[in-house]
Amino acid sequence: MKHIPVLLNDVLETLGDISGRTIVDCTFGAGGYSRAFLERGANVIAFDRDTNVIADAEKLKQEYGNKFRFINAPFSEIKQLKSDEFDDVVFDLGISSMQIDNAERGFSFRFDAPLDMRMDTRTDITAADLINNKTVEELADILYEYGDIKKSYKMAALLKEKQPKTTFELRDLIKVPGDIAPIFQALRIAVNDEMGQIKDALNSVDELLQTGGRCVCVTFHSIEDRIVKNTFRKWTENVGDPRLPTIIAPKYKLLKTKTPTDAELDMNSRARSAHLRAVQKV
């Protein structure tokens, strides 16, 4: 299924008049956001680490020429850009419908496939390798932290013992049906270092964003959202001890926080856990 962009209208509303601005779309996916930015007169620099999106990116390149640049790399590489190369930054985190629906990628327990889960297939470590390489304690931490799995140690020990190599082998080891999706999600987050990526990229955004520049993040997972919320809170707070006279004014102002409306949820169930947060450098 083609990916339906989530909260796109809210992202556009938050960015305001983008004509002539340059927006970094950190998560190109099917290009829904990038296309909307280009249609409104913006220039776009887009990142995606999945090589499968290159064809869609090339189509936009043909239509928009120099107004569109695609970088097939993790968005933590935003640090390679210079401050004056862009105005605003947008993240639409997580995986796309194309990734989850592509049986061979191993993201979904609905299809039997090698236990892969790499967004970037040029990297080495698949989910099966991760289970093989990590200790029981490390695996238990991953399951607990990213999947909220209560009996995480027991599950981790079972994974180490059985070493599942396919999605169905993994699925069939999980006896509590409600744990299947969270365990797949936890392994995917670890395989792709999703939390490390967002922390790293936000640090670079803070260093590079110019005054007036906006940073908009759409998250789908509570830990991801907590990282964005806490980072934005730090950016928008006064710096210093409130009892002392020298308080440094915040570097950012909060623009928006938003979750999808019922109408959006009816159209797109993937939007269920989506959360938009946006700030502007002042």
Binding residues for ligand SAM, rule: CB under 6 A, are 3, 5, 27, 29-33, 47-50, 53, 74-75, 92, 94-96, 119, 197
Give me the least distance between CB of 121 and ligand SAM, in Å please.
Answer: 11
Specify the residue, 207 or 237, whose C-beta has the smaller distance to ligand SAM: 207
Specify the residue, 34 or 280, whose C-beta has the smaller distance to ligand SAM: 34
Specify the residue, 101 or 169, whose C-beta has the smaller distance to ligand SAM: 101
Considering only the C-alpha atoms of the chain, give the largest distance between any 2 of them, rounded to a whole number of Å: 63
Alpha helix segments (H runs only) across the chain: 8-15, 32-39, 54-64, 97-101, 127-133, 136-147, 152-162, 167-173, 177-191, 194-208, 222-236, 262-267
Specify the residue, 156 or 191, whose C-beta has the smaller distance to ligand SAM: 191
Give me the least distance between CB of 29 and ligand SAM, in Å please.
Answer: 3
Give me the least distance between CB of 129 and ligand SAM, in Å please.
Answer: 19
Give me the least distance between CB of 50 and ligand SAM, in Å please.
Answer: 4
DSSP states of 92-149? E-S--HHHHH-GGG---TTS--BS---SSTTSS--HHHHHHHS-HHHHHHHHHHHH--
End-to-end Cα spacing for the chain: 40
Specify the residue, 35 or 281, whose C-beta has the smaller distance to ligand SAM: 35
Give Cα 2 to chain centroid, integer Å. Answer: 18
The dihedrals phi and psi of 163, each to the nearest 5 degrees, come to 45, 65
Give me the least distance between CB of 120 and ligand SAM, in Å please.
Answer: 8
Residue with tokens 């080891």: 173
Q: Establish how many alpha carbons lie within 13 A of residue 271's alpha carbon, considering only the half-sphere containing its beta carbon.
A: 20
Cα–Cα distance measured from residue 233 to residue 245, given in angstroms and rounded to the nearest whole number: 22
Cα–Cα distance measured from residue 103 to residue 257, given in angstroms and rounded to the nearest whole number: 34
Specify the residue, 29 or 213, whose C-beta has the smaller distance to ligand SAM: 29
Give me the least distance between CB of 199 and ligand SAM, in Å please.
Answer: 11
Specify the residue, 13 or 169, whose C-beta has the smaller distance to ligand SAM: 13
54-58, long-range: CB < 8 A, 24+ apart? 56/28, 56/30, 56/31, 57/28, 57/31
Give me the least distance between CB of 203 and ligand SAM, in Å please.
Answer: 14
